[in-house]
Amino acid sequence: MTVIFAGIATFVAAIIQRITGLGFVLVLVGPIVLLYGPIEGVTLAVLLAFVASLAAIPMVWRHIDWKRSWWLIWPGLIAAPFGALVVRLLPDAALLLVIAAMAYVTLLAGRIPALSASLTGRRGAVAAGAAAGFMNVASGLGGPPLAAYAVGDRWGQRSFAASAQLIFIAFDIATVALRGLPVTPIEDVGTLVVATIAGIAIGTVLSRNVAPRIARAAMLVIAWAGATVVLVRGILALFP
């Protein structure tokens, strides 16, 4: 039953990712952490996010801004090992709280204009890239600093959404290298990979008829619920 629930969550996350360009891990992290735990859940989410971005790349290739992407990628790769250190040092209960906190930061970052305004130019890219690389390894949620930078630097949505797939691929490879591969049975991982690819395919079809704002609204509802449940579970885990 675990893999069925995880597969449904993965499928929905992939559809939203394809329509909006972002949100795969944000939608998936709540359910998958509850099903597999804070360490294995995030490791699975990042691996599946890699598959989702890889599947989307051929469809967005010509819109990638390579120069901007590079200035976000290299700081993130430098900061990534510090995220892995946090994962190794914290117990499960604390990790649940960290993941929930980062999910809330993700959901609230877009409502802080001063944050986006400060992230412009090369310096803004370095700061956003480093924060994204750290968060990606620690929680799988590397999107918020990238989105804040895109707003602050007035990066067009189509180019940003395309470039984000390339950036996530780089960060996800680093994350898997630092955290290791999932220990979940290979047949279960294969099922989730298939669900991811199917979600991207269905999302491609739906993107012609479903407005991005509807997909974003669904993403926010699922993400707020997931983050809240993870937070409650983390608090309860402090008092076994």
Q: Single out the residue of 30, 58, 64 nearest to residue 197, CA to CA.
A: 58
Query: Would you say the pTM of this structure is higher than 0.85?
Result: no
| CA 101 vs CA 32, 50, 144: distances in Å | 16, 23, 13
Taking residues 216-232, report their average pLDDT. Answer: 71
pLDDT tens for 86-100 read 888 888 788 778 877
What is the Cα Rg of the chain in Å?
16
Answer whether 52's CB lies under 8 Å from 28's CB. no
User: String of b and e for 47-65 (b: at least 16 CB within 10 Å)?
Assistant: bbbbbbbbbbeeebeeebb
pLDDT tens for 160-205 read 888 988 999 999 999 999 988 999 999 999 999 999 999 988 988 8
Q: What percent of the chain has pLDDT over 90?
A: 29
